[in-house]
Amino acid sequence: MREFLKRLPKAELHLHIEGTLEPELMFRLAERNAIQLPYASVDEARAAYQFEDLQSFLDVYYQGMNVLRGEEEFFDLALDYLERAHRDGVVHVELSFDPQAHLTRGVGLDLQIDGLTRAMSEAERNWGISSRLIMSFLRDRSPQEALQTLKMATPFLDRLAAVGLDSAERDNPPGRFAEVFAQARQLGLARIAHAGEEGPADYIREALDRLQVCRIDHGVRCLEDSALVKELRQRRIPLTVCPLSNVHLKVVDDMQEHPLPQLLEAGLTLTLNSDDPAYFGGGVLENYLACHEAFGWDENIFIDLAENAIQSAFLDEKRRRVLL
Ligand code: ES4
Ligand code: ZN
């Protein structure tokens, strides 16, 4: 099965590029910039990746990205990840980044976007892997800051596929960001949002109604609202589900308890993704394999899920046809 899943052309739609920072690269970049890390070794860093919930992960995640200081670090981060993705049989990636987490550390938006997009071009040249960039707003910071960030992104709009919404979900409903999402829409940007991971099903509805998103990141808690499930099914709204992330952040107790079989039974448009592969036990291939092991899914189910991702991607129709 591993060989089959590896060869299956996969697209990854839910990936935080800062969450691909493996401890080995973290140590290299720390050395380059003479930064003191809170870990004595790569092994000690890995051992610290034990989380109780989303917030306890986010604390470690924001700490880790402190080694990203300039264009070169964003380039190294993205190229390192895209090479691993290519080796796992990933043919297209939509990578999110969190500009506010870097702007607040004094790293300019131009450096972030230049480094990431230079790596994306090089990866396409080297390995034929295509990729798009998604700019995410941090929902645990103010809507005003998100508006400023969108304004700063004006010179780079042609390099963005969409805007997203991430970070601590609880008590940060999507509606707070209605204005910035409306402006993004005016600018011609597609919209997605994390919803229904730790937050309630209501946040999924709110993201659909008030942010006009075309995809939901996670969305696993939609099952708590049958009318919402019906709407998601009828509108074929893709859910970018991240099973290993859900286990590591204790959204579910273990893979056996994951609601993916019910989501599939409900006729929803599902995709499998890694979220933060350096922190949650592996990339998109490991997530496919974990589903095979937990649910006994056969090849046909994975063919459908991989096709869902390609159909749901921000791709021009020519590239989509090549990938299907
Ligand atoms: C994130 Cl809400 C969430 N989940 C996983 N990774 C993240 N990175 C930023 N926000
Ligand atoms: Zn995520």
Q: Is the CB of 248 under 6 A from ligand 1?
A: no
Give domain status of residue 171, yes or no: yes
Give domain status of residue 323, yes or no: no
Residue 16 Cα, ligand 2 centroid: separation in angstroms? Answer: 6
Q: What is the CATH number of the domain that holds 216?
A: 3.20.20.140
Lay out the sheet containing 269-272: strands in order across. 10-16, 90-97, 130-138, 162-166, 190-195, 215-218, 238-241, 269-272
- What ipTM was assigned to the predicted interfaces of this complex? 0.96
Q: Judge whether 27 and 322 are in contact, CB under 8 Å.
A: no
Residues annotated in a binding site for Zn(2+): 14, 16, 194, 275
Give domain status of residue 222, yes or no: yes
Measured from the Cβ of residue 131, the count of other Cβ atoms closer than 10 Å reads: 26
Residue 300 Cα, ligand 1 centroid: separation in angstroms? Answer: 30
Q: Is the CB of 69 under 6 A from ligand 1?
A: no
Q: Domain span at residue 77?
A: 2-315
Give domain status of residue 261, yes or no: yes
Angle between helices 109-127 and 71-87 (to 10 degrees): 30
* Span 273-295, pLDDT tens digits: 999 999 999 999 999 999 999 99
- What Rg value do the Cα atoms of the chain yield, rounded? 18
Give domain status of residue 320, yes or no: no
Measured from the Cβ of residue 154, the count of other Cβ atoms closer than 10 Å reads: 8
Of the ligands numbered here, which is closest to the C-alpha atom of 14?
2
If one counts the domains in the chain, the total is 1
Read off the amino acid at residue 266.
A
Q: Is the CB of 88 under 6 A from ligand 1?
A: no
Q: What is the average pLDDT score of the chain?
A: 98
Give domain status of residue 324, yes or no: no
Distance CA 20, CA 78 (A): 8
Which of 20, 53, 97, 167 to mutate for ligand 1's pocket (most ligand atoms within 8 Å of CB)?
A: 167
Give domain status of residue 165, yes or no: yes
- The whole-model pTM stands at 0.98
* Span 226-272, pLDDT tens digits: 999 999 999 999 999 999 999 999 999 999 999 999 999 999 999 99
Give domain status of residue 20, yes or no: yes
* Span 12-69, pLDDT tens digits: 999 999 999 999 999 999 999 999 999 999 999 999 999 999 999 999 999 999 999 9
Residue 28 Cα, ligand 2 centroid: separation in angstroms? Answer: 25
Q: Is the CB of 198 under 6 A from ligand 1?
A: no
Distance CA 60, CA 181 (A): 28
Residues acting as catalytic residues: 197
